Amino acid sequence: MKPHTKIKSSSIAQCGMNCGLCYAFQREKNKCPGCRQLSAGMPVSIERCKIRTCGFFTNANAKFCYQCTEFPCKNLKHLDKRYRTKYGTSMIGNLSNIKAAGIRKFISSEQVKRTCGSCGDLLCVHKPNCLKCGAKKVKSV
């Protein structure tokens, strides 16, 4: 099935999170613009994010955490553990894939892996079912 929503490179956060899969990004009301979008109305969680506000990103022309000599730092390890445990996705794994294959191949892989087989919409990493049609997510291997 052809996906309805395309994942964009601008929706891949510095930490490796695919913001397009985030509930706050997908919801209808009070929609989050994503971690890379700097705006006046940005959610507090993005404003205060220890990874996004890390000195590495403010002092370097870097796009992703894997470019840092401290990769993976304690903040990234903490985030990765939480997402692996609760949602079955790894920020460190995502970043390693981006580093190894490039952002385009990572996005192509994510597009296939994260698209609902029933309706073609992007799945939400935070919910067990597709937000659009309610189909249960198939666990990826």
Higher pLDDT, 59 or 92: 92
Q: How many other C-beta atoms can be found within 10 angstroms of the C-beta atom of residue 40?
A: 4
Residue 18 lies in a domain: yes
Residue 45 lies in a domain: yes
| CB environment 126-141: b (16+ within 10 A), e (fewer) | eeeebbbeeeebeeee
Residue (of 65, 59, 56, 57) closest to 17 by Cα position: 65
If pLDDT is split at 50, 70 and 90, which confidence band does 141 have? very low
Residue type, 114: R
pLDDT digits (tens, 9 = 90+) for 89-116: 999 999 999 999 999 999 999 999 999 9
pLDDT digits (tens, 9 = 90+) for 65-84: 999 999 999 999 999 999 99
Residue 133 lies in a domain: no
Higher pLDDT, 139 or 100: 100
Mean per-residue pLDDT for 50-58?
Answer: 78
User: Can you give the residue range of the structural domain that contains 84?
Assistant: 9-113
Residue 54 lies in a domain: yes
Q: What is the pTM of this model?
A: 0.87
**How many domains does the chain fold into?**
1
